[in-house]
Amino acid sequence: MKPAPFEYSRARSVEEACALLAADDGARLIAGGQTLVPLMAMRLARPTRLVDIARIPELAYVRDVHVDDPQLHGREEASGEGKAAAVAIGATTKQAVVEHDALVRAKVPLLAKAMPLVGHDATRARGTIGGSLANGDSAAEIVLTAVTLGATLTWRVDGRTEQAEASQFFLGPMVTALPPAACLLEARFPVWSEPRVGTGFHEVNERHGDFAFAAAAAQIAVDGDGRCTRAALGIGAATAVPLRLDGVAKALQGTRCEESLVRRLVAEALAEVETMADLHASAEYRRRAAITLAVRAVSDAHRTARRA
Amino acid sequence: MNVELKKVELKVNGATHVVEVEPRTSLLDCLRDRLLLTGAHAGCEHGVCGACTVLLDGVAVRSCLMFAVQADGYAITTIEGLSPGPGELSPVQDAFCEAHGMQCGYCTPAMILTAHALLARNPSPTRAQIIEAISGNICRCTGYAQIVEAIALAADRMRGQNLPPDRS
């Protein structure tokens, strides 16, 4: 037995989970446990109580959220009659379920592209979307995708429901805006209504499925001439939290995303950004890798959008 | 810290066992130390090496990343549950022997269970799909080539299993 001792409770509802968390400062939620359990095995995490939310049925789902949904506060994506504005994914939805979900593939193609890179088959079988988001690792593909697309995260705390946009949610390395006694409920990924959308996702790591040293995600919409009408670009793993490069995305509009242009824009955007260093990769390596991966991600996204 | 033991009912290889464990007991430790099913191996014990792989409802998972108290209600399969009868081998086990898919044997039960899970959902995997499926399982002996070959051989045999003799 490697972890320190703890008590175990299985919550039957979100309210019960919140009450158990509020009653014990050292309590933590567990669902898939694919990140928390290794941290406990190394005793980097020593919860006094684990509150298991994996079997709360209403937390596992993937569904369309339509324009007329009162919970949707007039997001800009909410245009077009009867079109889904977002895909909502319940916090304890297994990563393997999201990976193979037809709705995700059709409407949030960047997330579908990122999922096979999340750990391995055996960890995606247990790991959840919400677990990865709540853990807030900059190297996590789901975290990078949420920041790049501007997903909205919703949680329950003290009987209230609160939410934040992903770029406001991730505050530092494995630090999020989630209050200690909160239970994450869902993540909503915006759906792009443009007919021609393409995606790209690239990362470097030691072994497929391991933590990335640098990663980049891009989603691009093009018009009939192959000119970019809308872009989203983010880099992860290289920095303490994933960064959405909105300036680059804006500058790409109206262009054909030529490689030299993308490289110059991304290099400029990252010039003043502090990248991380550790035994595996220096800060300078991570910066160079992030720039090159961003160029590749945009190139893939632009090419697949033109073919869409 | 004195933690009370939790009673949990585990369905392993078709048999039901009731055990009392500390909540911090991993499913791996419970299988090995309490149920004496030592085919699931303890490698890194933090989810990197894959040596502890078991099947939960037919899907490969890491038994070191799960606590025994979380495992009630699932059909758990370990390497001990694969053989169709005493002295017999499953087609995947047989293929691993024939293709020399093992050397020291430490990763082998996990590799075989991972292969079973793969072939249950995809009877005709490509080489790339086989490599992807075992990418979470570390082997330090074989260089993986014979493991990939063994899984391809098992897939081929299992596809032919239910065909009439003149077609197989």
Question: Which chain A residues have any C-beta within 8 angstroms of a chain B C-beta?
Answer: 1-8, 30, 33-34, 37-38, 40-42, 48, 50, 52, 54, 96, 116, 119-123, 125-126, 207-209
What is the model's pLDDT at position A75? 47
Tell me the two tokens of residue A155: 């949680």
Domain span including residue A66? 57-190
B65 vs A41: CA distance, rounded Å: 9
- Closest Cβ–Cβ partner in B61, B66, B69 for A8: B69
Q: Which residues of chain A have pLDDT under 50?
A: 72-82
Q: How many CA atoms lie within 13 A of A67 on its CB side?
A: 10
Of B23, B47, B64, the CB nearest to A7: B23
Last residue of a domain, one of A190, A207, A239: A190
Residues A29 and A11 in one domain: yes
- The rounded distance, in Å, linking the Cα atoms of B30 and A172 is 37
- In a domain, residue A177? The reply is yes
Pair A22, A65 in one domain:
no
User: Quick one: pLDDT at residue B4?
Assistant: 86
ipTM confidence:
0.92
In a domain, A160, yes or no: yes
Do A36 and A105 fall within a single domain?
no
Q: Is the entire prediction scored with pTM above 0.90?
A: yes
C-alpha distances in angstroms, A8 versus A18, A27, B25, B59, B78? 14, 9, 11, 25, 25
Tell whether A159 is covered by a domain: yes
Q: Best interface-test mutation with B: which of A8, A30, A43, A56 has the largest number of B CBs within 10 A?
A: A8
- Verify that A169 and A251 share a domain, yes or no: no
The answer to whether the CB atoms of B65 and A42 lie below 8 A apart is no
> Are A98 and A122 in a shared domain?
yes
CB contact under 8 A, A38 and B62: no
- The last residue of one of the domains, among A161, A190, A219, is A190
Which residues in chain A touch residue B132, judged by CB atoms under 8 angstroms apart?
Answer: 116, 121, 208
* CATH code of residue A221: 3.30.390.50
Nearest CB neighbour to A7, from listed B3, B62, B70: B3
Domains and CATH numbers, chain B: 6-80 (3.10.20.30), 91-160 (1.10.150.120)
Assigned domain for A1 exists: no
Last residue of a domain, one of A16, A36, A52: A52
What CATH number is given to the structural domain containing A21? 3.30.43.10
Structural domain total, chain A: 3
CATH code for the domain in which residue A184 is found: 3.30.465.10
Q: Give the tens place of pLDDT for each residue, A88-111.
A: 999 999 999 999 999 999 999 999
Per-residue pLDDT of chain B (168 residues; tens, 9 = 90+): 678 899 999 999 999 999 999 999 999 999 999 999 999 999 999 999 999 999 999 999 999 999 999 999 999 999 999 999 999 999 999 999 999 999 999 999 999 999 999 999 999 999 999 999 999 999 999 999 999 999 999 999 999 876 666 654
Are both A25 and A62 inside the same structural domain? no
